[in-house]
Amino acid sequence: MKKNSNYQTAISVLSYAREDHFDGVNALYRLGAILELDSSMSQDGLERYLKKLKKQLEELSICPNRILISGNHVEIDWYPKGYQMVMNRGQYAGLFLEFAKYLNECPIQNIRIGDGCVDDDPDDLVKSALNGEINFFPEFNEKCFGIQNGESIEILNCNPNYGISELWR
């Protein structure tokens, strides 16, 4: 099920993604994934789950930059390293298919593409960048996306029902 839904989402991105994400003018802002939370999970259960999730994410070949606890789900974001810019719709679809393959092969159960990232405002700081600073052919790999060496995953809690302790950070 995970395999089909991620590939289907990657392909469907073409129908509703903002054109300024693949216009060759704006840089990508992020690629995102989502995990649903069990609504009956206790505070202790959530903390155990997040500790395990953080450890799993840190062990991935492309470590994400941020975990956001929001409502009944966890959003996981991979930010670009430097300026990553796609030039057309086909290249954008290819990047999302690579991302879908990565998520399908990762050991985290029920992780799926979060389609909210296709509606983000793109990074317009690229307009002041030199062409040599821009990667016009991004791939979903550790050179183009994810955490830099020495950084840690940022964890944000936007769910007022959970008071996450500092112990697991």
Tokens at 73, concatenated: 């789900």
pLDDT confidence band for 45 (50 / 70 / 90): confident
pLDDT attached to residue 166: 44
pLDDT attached to residue 99: 97
Distance CA 19, CA 52 (A): 37
The amino acid sitting at 95 is L
The more confident residue out of 31 and 17 is 31
Per-residue pLDDT tens over the stretch 73-126: 999 999 999 999 999 988 989 999 999 999 999 999 999 999 888 778 777 778
| Beta strand segments in the chain, E | 31-36, 66-70, 73-78, 83-84, 112-113, 134-135, 154-157
pLDDT attached to residue 115: 81
pLDDT attached to residue 169: 44
Q: Residue 146: which region, alpha, beta or left (left: phi > 0; alpha: psi -120 to 50)? A: left
The amino acid sitting at 151 is E
pLDDT attached to residue 159: 64
Domain boundaries, the chain: 2-157
